[in-house]
Amino acid sequence: MKKINLLVAVSALSTMAFLYLPLMAVAFFSVNDSKYGLEWKGFTLDWYVKLFQNDLILQAASNTLVLALVSTFVSTILGTILAIGMDRFPWPGKMNTALDLVMHLPVIIPDIIFAAAMVVAFGFLRTLTSVFDPGLLNMIIAHITFQTAFVALVVRSRLAGIGKEIEEAARDLYAGTIYMLMKVTLPLLAPGIIAGAMLAFTLSLDDFVISFFTAGPDSITLPLYIYAAVRRVVTPQIHALSTLVLMVTVILVICMERITRKVNKKQKRL
Amino acid sequence: MKKSALMVLALLLVLILFSGPAFCGNGELKIFTWSEYMDEENMPKDFEKATGIKVKLDMYESNEEMMAKLQAGGLGQYDIIIPTDFIITSLINLKLIVPLDHSKIPNIKNLGTKFSNASFDPGNKYSVGWQWGTVGLMYNKAKLKDSDVASWDIIFDPKKKPGSFYLIDSVREMMGITLVYLGYDFNSTNPKELKAASDLLIDTKKRKECLGFKGGVGGKNDVISGVADAAVVYNGDSIQTVSKEPDKFGFIVPKEGSEIWIDSMCIPAKAPNLEAAHKWINWVLEPEVGAALSNYNQYATPNDAAIPFLNKEDLKNPGIWPTPEITKTLHFVKDLGKSNKVVDQAWTRVKSH
Amino acid sequence: MNKLIIWYGELITGNKLLKRGVFFLTPGMLWLVLFLVLPGFILVLVSFAGRGTYGNLIWEFSLENYTRLIGYGIFGWTLDYVYILLRSVWVAFVTTGLSVVLSYPLCFYIARKPPRTRYLWLTIVIIPFWTNMVIRAYAWFLILAPELPFARLAAFLNLVPAGMPLYPSAMAVYLGMISMFLPFVALPLFSSIERMDWTLVEAAQDLYASNFRIFMHAILPQTLPGLSVGIILTMVPAMGMFVIPDLLGGAKYMLVGNLIQQQFGASRDYAFGAAISIGLMILTLFSLYLYKRKNRGIDLI
């Protein structure tokens, strides 16, 4: 048994190393004072300083944020209403299956197919109006589409978890539909909605493929910028940018964990 | 709950207002060009000084990539594009570019005769020359001797020891070079010959030494950073470095021959800022501006009036201004019309095996 | 339909409830139909169109894209595209398999930690999961660079010429893919392992079962729900991946994702790109169907 435990520990730790080694390397070489190659030529923060003087990168950062915030905001609303609509009404079985299938589509088809469909669809819309030229609007629409499905799935599982009883009690006390929704259902749902929104936000930040197919020249996001740059040449500046993105990710994940755990604790007390 | 939702909303509004100028960008000149094709820091500034118009650059690594962007809705998003000769035929046929207003480009008289009467656009109806050049091999002199790279067999013959190398990720260039290496026509559309060429490319890419395909400046940058020992590249891109470090790097057009090309400035249909686009074209044709451009990017200029302002050493560099012997081995890519499809399929075959 | 019913404690007519239900469903469903289902149908339509001489879309019904996909082209009968599809399935399969093998010890290790540090460990696994895939892919450039010990070792063992990086290569693609998808397997698996009943394992040990049998009979059945979710979450995106083969395969080791991207990019053959997408979709749905039939009752989230 001891031997196995040791084996498990060694394997687990080397897997962690495997996940982190490349990311550490990026961080390490982001402070290397050499433009080409990987020889260590001394410590510098120049690459970071230069990032903040680069308008393109600042623009990309702001695009990434606007995209993630707007799409998360819209998709959280759409997804929540959709989840309530699906779970709180007695739909016939067949219709339920159909709705279910549509909602699962973004989860079960590879994102590149969704992206391809978007390219073709926007191509058609573009013949009607130039509003659909590649750009932030297209990206926001595409992101909302897959985020809505994910939010709805998360919120619905939470809805199923709440059960009937509390809402029935509210009705017994003569709560109207809107009153019940605002004062009973939504507050109970809040953890699910927050979890859904956070999932949507991170999915948007994490996305590359869908943005790649829908972006225009003014709506480059950070991942797109890094991809284009890497295909030309890998510079320490890109390492620096990636390291910053990584650091923001770490902070975000830790915040998410904190909030989820707090919400869970609260829930347990209820 | 309500409060936080309101806060998020307010934050959103602020952000959108904040990034507002990015959305509209009034009066800007948007140029879609090959990466590292001009002094990306100073040339836009000089133009702004001269005309008061701000310049925004976006980059591509191959003609096909640029065209795909245009066809996917990019037509109204750029004022200037810089396509290569054979692509201009496609662009005209698809009505993706608009005729130029010559009354706004008085400097057009500066173009050399070869460039004012090019076969792809006689009389400069749609395009005005930007730079011209060739495709060749950049190599690391520590790994490869000059005699090694005299022929393309350094990459195609598995018995040679090329070190690690990149092919160029551009259909017509790479197919053409392979075809002439095999002794066929650079612009062949014969399926048998194309199959032979694609087979050779497949064998080549499968070898350990081949690092794969890289477009535009990618290959050249990897030779500089030491990842690759050689790469098929555009001449000027590599000569920018070669002329600074002639002991470390070299550039050559191997003896079997290669491509010669002319890149031109064109205006996409639906370009938002026609006025600025014409101003840019006219400005680039100024003798001093044209010379500064070529002195920077180390390509040859189609602008005869600029030649007196060029660096004297550059004029003597056969990598930039090929000698008559080299020119004999160079071919223009022809637009193949319907047969483009055959070449495309051959290329897909190369990429998919 | 106009009967009175009691629904969630409310006395209401069927019609009224229906109206309210439709009101709730409409915004979200309308959006999904407009921007997900409809584009899907357009994609199907486009897959039967053709490519014009200069890369424009031509509306002539033809099956050419599909015959080309299954191997009939101007160079005669070649199975290039079928080969790519199969290779993509194979790469996805190997990636998933290796990720599962690596995930079990990782999850056991974390599950055995005391609750307080457990979440810290879990967070450590989650962080790469949320780091953008472009960064995670190109980060391998550095590890595999010629200056670093790994490439030197490989050169020393005569696996590659000296001074060459270890990318682009099939191995680099696998490394990238596994590091990309491992957390997709590990996280759902962990949720199962955390809830596992270890007394079963102890009982099996008391009965002198071999390690293999302990795993197959006491551990695997208990962790199957999490494992299934992990496998689906990995297989599906792995089949359509194009960033990793593009960066780490040097546009040399092509998967179906690259093929689709190439059609919508450099080749400008939307119709053929659409046909490949449909092919990939059918393949994905078919394998999901097979998988679901074998393992009933799997929740995706």
pLDDT, tens digit, 9 for 90 and up, residues A237-265: 899 999 999 998 888 888 877 777 776 67
Q: What is the pTM of this model?
A: 0.89
Contact B345 C249 (CB under 8 A): no
Per-residue pLDDT tens for A142-174?
999 999 999 999 999 888 888 788 888 888 888
Give CA–CA dist B230/B146, Å, rounded.
12
B123 and B56 share a domain? Answer: yes
Per residue, the 3-state secondary structure of C175-187, as one string, reads HHHHHHHHHHHHH
Give CA–CA dist B69/B77, Å, rounded.
10
**Does the residue C59 lie in any domain?**
no
C150 and C258 share a domain? Answer: yes
Which chains have 3 or more CB–CB distances shorter than 8 Å to chain C? Answer: A, B
Contact B94 C164 (CB under 8 A): no
Strand bridging mode B330-331 / B258-265: parallel
Q: Are B321 and B300 in contact (CB under 8 A)?
A: yes
Contact B77 A123 (CB under 8 A): no
Structure ipTM over 0.90, yes or no? no
B120 and B175 share a domain? Answer: no
Kindly give, in sequence order, each residue whose CB lies less than 8 Å from that of residue C11, ignoring residues fewer than 6 positions away.
C4, C5
Q: What is the DSSP letter of B302?
A: S
**Does the residue C65 lie in any domain?**
no
Kindly give, in sequence order, each residue whose CB lies less than 8 Å from that of residue A168, ignoring residues fewer than 6 positions away.
C8, C9
CA angle C225/C227/C232 to nearest 5° reads 100
Contact B71 C267 (CB under 8 A): no
For residue B19, what is the nearest residue in chain A, using CA coordinates? A62
Q: Work out the minimum CA distance from C262 to partner chain B, whole angstroms.
A: 9
Q: How many CB atoms lie within 10 A of CB A53?
A: 8
- For residues B241-261, give the mean pLDDT: 94
Residues A46-269: name the CATH superfamily: MetI-like (1.10.3720.10)
Please provide the DSSP assignment of A56-97 as one string: HHHHHHHHHHHHHHHHHHHHHHHHHHHHHHHHSS---HHHHH
Which B-chain residues 203-262 have CB contacts (< 8 A) with chain C?
Answer: 205, 208-214, 226-227, 229
Give CA–CA dist A242/C177, Å, rounded.
19
pLDDT at residue B22, as a whole number:
44
Number of domains in chain B: 2
Give CA–CA dist A204/A74, Å, rounded.
12
Contact C53 B340 (CB under 8 A): yes
Q: Work out the minimum CA distance from C277 to partner chain A, whole angstroms.
A: 6
Q: Work out the minimum CA distance from A115 to partner chain C, whole angstroms.
A: 10
B74 and B147 share a domain? Answer: no
Give the closest residue to C35 by CA, choosing from A203, A195, A210.
A210
Closest in B65, B212, B346 to C168, CB measured: B212
Radius of gyration of chain B (CA): 22
Contact C54 B90 (CB under 8 A): yes
Per residue, the 3-state secondary structure of B203-233, as one string, reads HHHHCCCEEEEECCCHHHHHHHHCCCCEEEE
Please count the residue pairs, one from chain A and one from chain B, whose beta carbons lie less than 8 angstroms apart: 82
Contact C163 B213 (CB under 8 A): no
Q: Work out the minimum CA distance from A9 to partner chain B, whole angstroms.
A: 36
Contact B349 C78 (CB under 8 A): yes
pLDDT at residue B1, as a whole number:
46
Which A-chain residues 49-78 have CB contacts (< 8 A) with chain C?
Answer: 78
Please count the residue pairs, one from chain A and one from chain C, whose beta carbons lie less than 8 angstroms apart: 273
Contact B217 A70 (CB under 8 A): no
CA angle B117/B99/B111 to nearest 5° reads 35
Residue A266 predicted with pLDDT over 70: no
**Does the residue C94 lie in any domain?**
yes
User: 3-state DSSP helix/strand/coil percent for chain B, to nearest 5?
Assistant: 50, 20, 35
Closest in B62, B72, B345 to C73, CB measured: B345
Is C170 an interface residue toward A (CB < 8 Å)? no
Please provide the DSSP assignment of B327-339 as one string: HHTEEPPPP-GGG
Closest in A124, A149, A253 to C127, CB measured: A253
pLDDT band at B7 (very low <50, low <70, confident <90, very high): low
**Does the residue B38 lie in any domain?**
yes
Which residues in chain C have Cβ-Cβ distances shorter than 8 Å to A118?
Answer: 35, 39
- For residues A128-144, give the mean pLDDT: 91
Which residues in chain B have Cβ-Cβ distances shorter than 8 Å to C264?
Answer: 68, 72
What is the distance in angstroms between the CA of the first residue and the CA of the last residue of chain A? 42
The SS3 assignment for C159 reads coil
For residue A199, what is the nearest residue in chain C, using CA coordinates? C130
Q: What is the CATH number of the domain that holds C119?
A: 1.10.3720.10
pLDDT band at B20 (very low <50, low <70, confident <90, very high): very low
Closest in B90, B227, B352 to C254, CB measured: B352
The residues of chain C scoring below 70 in pLDDT are 1, 74, 251, 294-301
pLDDT at residue C51, as a whole number:
82
Please return the burial class of C197, using the count of CB atoms within 10 Å of its CB with bins 0-12, 13-18 and 19+: exposed
Count of alpha carbons within 13 angstroms of residue B136, beta-carbon side: 28
Give CA–CA dist B108/B281, Å, rounded.
9
Q: Are B69 and B90 in contact (CB under 8 A)?
A: no
**Does the residue C271 lie in any domain?**
yes
The number of residues in chain A equals 270
B77 and B160 share a domain? Answer: no
B140 and B183 share a domain? Answer: yes
Contact B67 C269 (CB under 8 A): no
Give the closest residue to A231 by CA, choosing from C95, C138, B178, B13.
C138
Q: What is the DSSP letter of C112?
A: T
Neighbouring-strand partners of residue B140: B249
Packed helices C80-111 and C270-294: angle between N→C axes, nearest 10 degrees: 50
B122 and B139 share a domain? Answer: no
Tokens for B215, please give them.
């477009």
- For residues A21-25, give the mean pLDDT: 93
Closest in A19, A208, A223 to C182, CB measured: A19
**Does the residue C58 lie in any domain?**
no
C16 and C140 share a domain? Answer: no
Which residue shows structure tokens 């008085």?
Answer: B106
Which chains have 3 or more CB–CB distances shorter than 8 Å to chain A? Answer: B, C
Give CA–CA dist C18/A178, Å, rounded.
16
**Does the residue B271 lie in any domain?**
yes
Parse chain A into domains and list their residue ranges: 46-269
- Residue B241's identity, in one-letter code, is T
Q: Are C294 and C285 in contact (CB under 8 A)?
A: no
Give the closest residue to A244 by CA, choosing from A222, A227, A228, A259.
A222
B230 and B293 share a domain? Answer: no
Backbone torsions φ then ψ of B214, nearest 5 degrees: -135, 135
B74 and B123 share a domain? Answer: yes
Residue B253's domain spans which residues?
Answer: 133-260+322-352
Per-residue pLDDT tens for B208-223?
889 888 888 999 999 9
pLDDT at residue A270, as a whole number:
53
B79 and B138 share a domain? Answer: no
The SS3 assignment for B268 reads strand
Contact C163 B67 (CB under 8 A): no
Q: What is the CATH number of the domain that holds B337?
A: 3.40.190.10
Find the largest Cα–Cα distance for chain C: 82
Contact C257 A110 (CB under 8 A): yes
Q: Name which of A60-64, B309-313, C160-164, C209-213 the model is least confident about.
A: C160-164
pLDDT band at B248 (very low <50, low <70, confident <90, very high): very high
- Phi-psi sector, C186: left (phi>0), alpha (psi -120 to 50), beta: alpha
Give CA–CA dist B86/B130, Å, rounded.
15
Q: Are C95 and C238 in contact (CB under 8 A)?
A: yes
pLDDT at residue B349, as a whole number:
84
B191 and B337 share a domain? Answer: yes
Give CA–CA dist B124/C37, Å, rounded.
47
Which residues in chain A have Cβ-Cβ distances shorter than 8 Å to C299?
Answer: 157
Q: Which residue out of A77, A231, A235 would a mutagenesis test of the B interface target, given it has the greatest number of B Cβ atoms within 10 Å?
A: A231
pLDDT at residue C14, as a whole number:
81
Give CA–CA dist C173/B261, Å, rounded.
35
Number of domains in chain C: 2
B56 and B144 share a domain? Answer: no
Closest in B58, B77, B225 to A233, CB measured: B225
Per-residue pLDDT tens for A209-229?
999 999 998 899 999 999 999
Stated as kind and residue range, the H or E segment containing A141 is helix A136-162
- For residues B169-185, give the mean pLDDT: 95
pLDDT at residue B21, as a whole number:
42
C128 and C234 share a domain? Answer: yes
Contact B210 C252 (CB under 8 A): yes
pLDDT band at B13 (very low <50, low <70, confident <90, very high): low
Q: Which residue out of B69, B211, B350 would a mutagenesis test of the C interface target, given it has the greatest number of C Cβ atoms within 10 Å?
A: B211
Closest in C161, C262, C268 to B67, CB measured: C268
Sheet with B55-60, strands from edge to edge, namely B55-60, B29-34, B80-81
Give the closest residue to A115 by CA, choosing from C183, C285, B72.
B72
Give CA–CA dist B125/B266, Å, rounded.
10
Closest in A120, A154, A245 to C39, CB measured: A120
Give CA–CA dist A145/A107, Å, rounded.
11
B254 and B151 share a domain? Answer: yes
Give CA–CA dist C106/C241, Å, rounded.
25
Which A-chain residues 84-123 have CB contacts (< 8 A) with chain C?
Answer: 84-86, 88-91, 99, 102-114, 116-121, 123
Q: Are A79 and A122 in contact (CB under 8 A)?
A: no
- CA A231, A234, A235, A241 torsion: positive or negative? positive
Measured CA distances, B22 to A58, A60, A66, A134, B28 (Å):
11, 10, 12, 14, 11
C37 and C100 share a domain? Answer: no
Residue C147's domain spans which residues?
Answer: 72-294
For residue B189, what is the nearest residue in chain C, using CA coordinates? C74
Strand residue runs (E) in chain B:
29-34, 55-60, 80-81, 128-140, 165-168, 210-214, 230-234, 249-252, 258-265, 330-331
Q: Work out the minimum CA distance from A56 to partner chain C, whole angstroms.
A: 18
Give the closest residue to B166 by CA, choosing from B231, B118, B240.
B231
Tokens for C143, please give them.
């590890």
Which A-chain residues 34-53 have CB contacts (< 8 A) with chain C?
Answer: 37-39
Is B160 an interface residue toward C (CB < 8 Å)? no
